[in-house]
Amino acid sequence: MYWKLALFLQSLNNILKAVLLKKIPETMGFRILIGLVFFSLLFFGEITMTFSFKQGSNRNLPSSEFTPLSHKITNELSDNETTSDIDSIMNEFITGKEIKGASVAIAKNGRLIYAKGFGYADEEKQIITEPKNLFRIASVSKLITGVAIMKLYEEGRLNLEDRVFGPKGILNDSMFLHYTDKLIEKITIRQLLAHKGGWNSRKSDPIFNSLYIAKKMGVPPPATLDHIISYQLKESLAFTPGTTYNYSNFGYAVLGKIIEKITGMDYEGYIQFAILHPLGIYDMHIGSSFYDNKLPHEVKYYELENTPDCYAYDGSGELVPLPYGGNNIELLGAAGGWIASAPELLKLIISVDGFESKADILSDRTIDMMTHTEKVRGNILGWRGTDGYGTWWRTGTLAGTSALVMRHKNDISWVVLLNTTTKNKSKIHNEISRTMFKALRSVETWPETDLFALN
């Protein structure tokens, strides 16, 4: 928002100067000014409408005019004889894996042809899962962040080779200039996107150590992202940036900070304003850590039975269930903090899938940059993996939730979201994949309907 405001004010200032210096006639200057005023009314009207979603308790939508797509879809709309086997396969899957609730959305040729919930959004309250239910999508959030960075790249507002830290870096605020390892200055945006920033997350992931970092820095817990970045910059890198792949939540949290610095907006607000709302996606948000702060229609998350409580991340000293206060969801933000319904998340996926059936929000060249591996691990940007034959995927896991997004070369894409930690959680994404492959093979004729058209 602020860069557009600055551009408008600069244009206004230039016209006034030109009129005063007699470089353009007053009548022409007046007409140009009228045009700018008209533009500003449209622009600020758009801003007001967009940020009205942020007002009110719990970020509720202000009116039925902006009812989210997922709120218009019910389980019954996907009751179809040709896809009935999917229902059976998914019910068998969640029963066998002791999953409380799941949500599935499938798109073909740009059309949402199937969207259903299974099991319970909240077992204790006997609330059946519906397509409108929101789930934490964990590291699928990294794909959203990657798309946002690439959009800014296409707009010429950043370059993937831009340095992140140091006096000439994007994050050159004084709090980020106290580092001992000069290699810090070599880190680029591309390296953060590709998990090649130089940090060894196997040793310790600072995003999950906010209590410890707050104590070390002498600040009240929980440590903010600024605190965590400042702390991490004082540590030596494990690798020369760009040389080694090492999965990093911290690196993607830094990308969220870059988005804020470049746009002048908070991370969540920019994503909603520039990416989600233009696509007609109105019910995706950064989630909350505690049960009492969960959003309307958000599911309840379930850990394995007998999982011990842990100390809350906020330093209160309270023992809490791991899904509700064990992790700082707001801090995860750009790395893992988003919540979404399966239909709306899938709508975002088909806007960056490279198929011609629906217009993409990124160019073919940019999408290829994000997914082309060149047979070297770590060249993928935002996505978790590609197989070189047109299948791309993005996984996400947190306490009480798992998410998997997949795009196939035959223009079929799908989303599966779960609200339960499973016993073999390290293999859950493989098991979701096998289940969905079986489900897709069971369909001989796909419905001709398009549930996206309800938006």
pLDDT in tens, the chain (455 residues): 443 444 444 444 444 444 444 444 544 444 544 444 444 434 444 444 444 333 333 444 433 457 899 999 999 999 999 999 999 999 999 999 999 999 999 999 999 999 999 999 999 999 999 999 999 999 999 999 999 999 999 999 999 999 999 999 999 999 999 998 999 999 999 999 999 999 987 767 899 999 999 999 999 999 999 999 999 999 999 999 999 999 999 999 999 999 999 999 999 999 999 999 999 999 999 999 999 999 999 999 999 999 999 999 999 999 999 999 999 999 999 999 999 999 999 999 999 999 999 999 999 999 999 998 554 555 899 999 999 889 999 999 999 999 999 999 999 999 999 999 999 889 999 999 999 999 999 999 999 999 999 97
pLDDT at 65: 58
Helix segments in 98-178, DSSP class H:
141-154
Q: Are 226 and 232 in contact (CB under 8 A)?
A: no
Q: What angle do CA 295, 296, 298 make, to 5 degrees?
A: 70
Query: In angstroms, what CA-CA distances link 425 with 179, 341, 402, 422?
Result: 38, 21, 9, 5
Buried b (16+ CB within 10 A) or exposed e, 29-47: beebeeebeeebeeeeeee
User: What pLDDT was estimated at residue 455?
Assistant: 77
Rounded to whole angstroms, how far apart are CA atoms 169 and 193?
A: 16
Tokens 């047979």 — which residue? 375
Beta-carbon contacts of residue 284 (< 8 Å; ≥ 6 apart) = 271, 272, 276, 338, 339, 340, 341, 344, 345, 348
- Beta-carbon count within 10 A of 187 CB: 25
What's the fold here for domain 69-139+277-310+338-454? Beta-lactamase (3.40.710)
Assigned token pair, 188: 């680029």
**pLDDT number for residue 373:** 57
Q: What is the pLDDT of residue 388?
A: 84
Which residues touch 165 (CB under 8 Å, ≥6 apart)? 171, 172, 176, 179, 184, 185, 187, 233
Cα angle for residues 174, 179, 183 (degrees, 5° grid)? 120
- For residue 222, cis peptide bond before it (omega within 30 degrees of 0): yes
40/45 Cα distance (integer angstroms): 8
Q: What is the CA radius of gyration of the chain?
A: 23
The whole-angstrom separation of Cα 250 and Cα 202 is 12
CA torsion, points 438, 402, 341, 303, in degrees to nearest 10?
120
